[in-house]
Amino acid sequence: MSGKLKAIDLFCGCGGISAGLRDAGFQVLAGVDVEPNYISTFSHNFPRSKSFQLDLAAVQPDEFMRSIGVEEGEVDLLAGGPPRQGFSKNVPRKNRYLEDPRNELIKIFLNYCEELKPRFVLMENVAEMKNGFENIYTDEVVSRLSEKGYTVTYAVLNSAEFGVPQRRRRAFFLANRDGIKFSLPEQTHSKKTSGGLS
């Protein structure tokens, strides 16, 4: 495992993002989630990674760093998909509001980014998060990461346009401290080639 890029997955769920990172050659150091069933499944799927059942809002980033044994700047990639029920279109519009505590977890993720200072950041969320509440959360993600020296790229991508047999639109935020302006992946499937899924 030595020589591999090191990653940590916050709000990891059962490990979907971690599976992609592992397939891409990353060493997933740890996954963190508050739900016991999720973290139990993550632990099963990633036996070589540390598994933490934690409420990240209740644990300071420096305390977490000590528990996992990493120093500032040591992690190559910090990834996460903070819970997004406050943005989801599956929640009636009248029940969506800016101060929903679940939306605040995006800020918690940024707190960890600022403390760990990873080389790269990957955050995934529902498509509505990008433009929701007059872009307030997108603006905060970009401004806070930019202030820490990151170059930020973001977009909404539809999984159906990349060969996945379902329509699933997600917002992705990619950031790095190397000054790289990431190019987004080119669409591989169209409405015609994917049978109308795009």
Decide if 30 contacts 46 (C-beta within 8 A): no
Query: Is residue 197 situated within a structural domain?
Result: no
Query: Is residue 134 situated within a structural domain?
Result: yes
Domain that holds residue 81: 6-176
Query: Is residue 35 situated within a structural domain?
Result: yes
Per-chain mean pLDDT for the chain: 85
- Which amino acid is it at 155? A
Q: Check whether 116 has a pLDDT greater than 60.
A: yes
- Please list the alpha-helical segments (H only) found in the chain: 16-23, 36-45, 61-68, 105-116, 127-147
Decide if 156 contacts 169 (C-beta within 8 A): yes
Share of the chain above pLDDT 70, in %: 80
Q: What's the CATH number where 11 sits?
A: 3.40.50.150
Predicted pLDDT at 65: 94
Query: Is residue 190 situated within a structural domain?
Result: no
Query: Is residue 62 situated within a structural domain?
Result: yes
Decide if 5 contacts 77 (C-beta within 8 A): yes
Predicted pLDDT at 160: 86
User: In this structure, what are the phi and psi dihedrals at residue 62, rounded to the nearest 5 degrees?
Assistant: -70, -35
Alpha carbons 125 and 117: distance in angstroms, whole number: 21
Predicted pLDDT at 100: 54
| Distance, CA of 185 to chain centre | 17
Q: What are the C-alpha distances in Å from 118 to residues 59, 63, 73, 79, 198?
A: 18, 16, 5, 10, 34
Query: Is residue 40 situated within a structural domain?
Result: yes
Give residue-wise pLDDT tens across range 153-189.
998 888 888 888 888 888 899 999 999 999 888 888 8
Q: Check whether 140 has a pLDDT greater than 80.
A: yes
Share of the chain above pLDDT 90, in %: 58
Predicted pLDDT at 143: 94
Lowest mean pLDDT among 13-22, 104-113, 144-153, 162-171: 162-171
Model confidence band, residue 193 (pLDDT cutoffs 50, 70, 90): low
How many domains is the chain partitioned into structurally? Answer: 1
Alpha carbons 78 and 29: distance in angstroms, whole number: 10
Alpha carbons 48 and 192: distance in angstroms, whole number: 42
Give residue-wise pLDDT tens across range 54-111.
999 999 999 999 999 999 999 999 999 987 655 555 544 544 444 555 568 888 999 9
Query: Is residue 182 situated within a structural domain?
Result: no
Longest dimension (CA), the chain: 51
Query: Is residue 81 situated within a structural domain?
Result: yes
